[in-house]
């Protein structure tokens, strides 16, 4: 396969956890991968790490809350690798607490980071990224099982992920005639740096140890354990493939049986 024939994938929030696993997997599946995250140092370190593994990866810093950053990121990807074939909207943050005590700043930042960014990135990939002109492509949004059910002390996060699921279904139906598919991957509990922060937040809220929270969460999962970033990435890799061409407007769980919905 020539360089020009290799597909180009964009991955946001790609320097750790699920995003890093997705970037690595897509690159091993012969994609040319362009990554972004807020920290320039982390992006540079991750690019070098993946390049040292023999993978074709590059990237630039990206704050998905900034329309200017999003535009510059997609333009840089096009200049580096060519028009976009796959967009993985992974960047996100946790956030919650007692709802009556949540301030506007936290609420708006969670919504902006987790939901508004998905709109911004997708619009830019379709236009500047050239996906709409190609009449083919894959948009894969990392949502959450919290986007299908309410999460106690997690109203901002749950609201944002419900929005991602709704956006996915609406846009998937809109773009279906063009051959561009849009799907959401909904992880449950996944062992990532963000998961550790979430456990600590619940431990503080309930005045218990983080180990007690971990035990409580694991007890909810039929498989009895957290999923791995690589297991979530596996579904992303499938949805990016030609075999998944008839799957669109879906929100698919990777959760160890946590959610039957």
| pLDDT tens per residue, range 121-163 | 999 999 999 999 998 999 999 999 999 999 999 999 999 999 9
H helices of 58-209, in order, are 67-81, 104-111, 117-126, 131-134, 155-175, 193-206
Q: How confident is the model at residue 3 (pLDDT cuts 50, 70, 90)?
A: low
CATH architecture of the domain with range 3-188+228-253: 3-Layer(aba) Sandwich (3.40)
pLDDT of 204 > 70? The answer is yes
Residue 69 has a pLDDT of 98
- Of 3-7, 97-101, 122-126, 252-256, the one with minimum mean pLDDT is 3-7
Is there a contact between 213 and 152 (Cβ–Cβ < 8 Å)? no
Is there a contact between 255 and 225 (Cβ–Cβ < 8 Å)? no
- Per-residue pLDDT reduced to its tens digit, 38-97: 999 999 999 999 999 999 999 999 999 999 999 999 999 999 999 999 999 999 999 999
Closest to 31 (Cα-Cα) out of 52, 50, 13, 15? 50
Residue 196 has a pLDDT of 83
The C-alpha angle with vertex 231 and arms to 77 and 136, in degrees rounded to 5, equals 40
Counting Cα atoms < 13 Å in the Cβ hemisphere of 214 gives 12
How far apart CA 228 and CA 24 sit, in angstroms, is: 14
3-state SS assignment for residue 25: helix
Catalytic center residues: 157
DSSP 227: B
* Residue located via tokens 């509990």: 189
Q: How confident is the model at residue 192 (pLDDT cuts 50, 70, 90)?
A: confident
What is the C-alpha end-to-end distance of the chain, expressed in Å? 39
Residue 71 has a pLDDT of 98
- Per-residue pLDDT reduced to its tens digit, 209-255: 989 988 988 998 999 999 999 999 999 999 999 999 999 999 999 99
Closest to 169 (Cα-Cα) out of 180, 186, 184, 188? 184
Indicate where the chain has its CATH 3.40.50.720 domain(s).
3-188+228-253
């Amino acid at each position: 396969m020539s360089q020009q024939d290799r597909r180009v994938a964009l991955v946001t929030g790609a320097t750790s956890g699920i995003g890093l696993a997705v970037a690595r997997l897509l690159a091993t599946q012969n994609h040319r991968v362009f990554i972004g995250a807020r920290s320039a140092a982390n992006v540079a370190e991750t690019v070098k790490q993946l390049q040292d593994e023999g993978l074709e990866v590059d990237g630039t810093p990206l704050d998905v809350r900034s329309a200017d950053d999003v535009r510059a990121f997609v333009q840089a990807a096009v200049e580096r690798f060519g028009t976009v074939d796959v967009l993985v909207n992974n960047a996100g943050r946790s956030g919650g607490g007692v709802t009556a005590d949540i301030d506007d700043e936290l609420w708006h930042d969670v919504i902006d980071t987790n939901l508004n960014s998905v709109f911004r990135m997708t619009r830019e990939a379709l236009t500047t990224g050239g996906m709409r002109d190609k009449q083919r492509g894959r948009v894969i949004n990392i949502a959450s099982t919290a986007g299908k059910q309410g999460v106690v002390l997690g109203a901002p996060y749950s609201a944002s992920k419900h929005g991602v699921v709704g956006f996915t279904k609406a846009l998937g139906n809109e773009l279906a005639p063009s051959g561009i598919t849009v799907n959401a991957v909904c992880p449950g509990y996944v062992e990532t740096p963000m998961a550790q922060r979430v456990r600590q937040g619940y431990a503080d809220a309930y005045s218990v140890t983080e180990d007690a929270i971990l035990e409580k969460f694991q007890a909810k999962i039929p498989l009895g354990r957290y999923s791995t970033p690589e297991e979530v990435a596996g579904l992303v890799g499938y949805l990016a493939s030609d075999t998944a061409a008839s799957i669109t407007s879906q929100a698919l769980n990777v959760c160890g049986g946590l959610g039957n919905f």
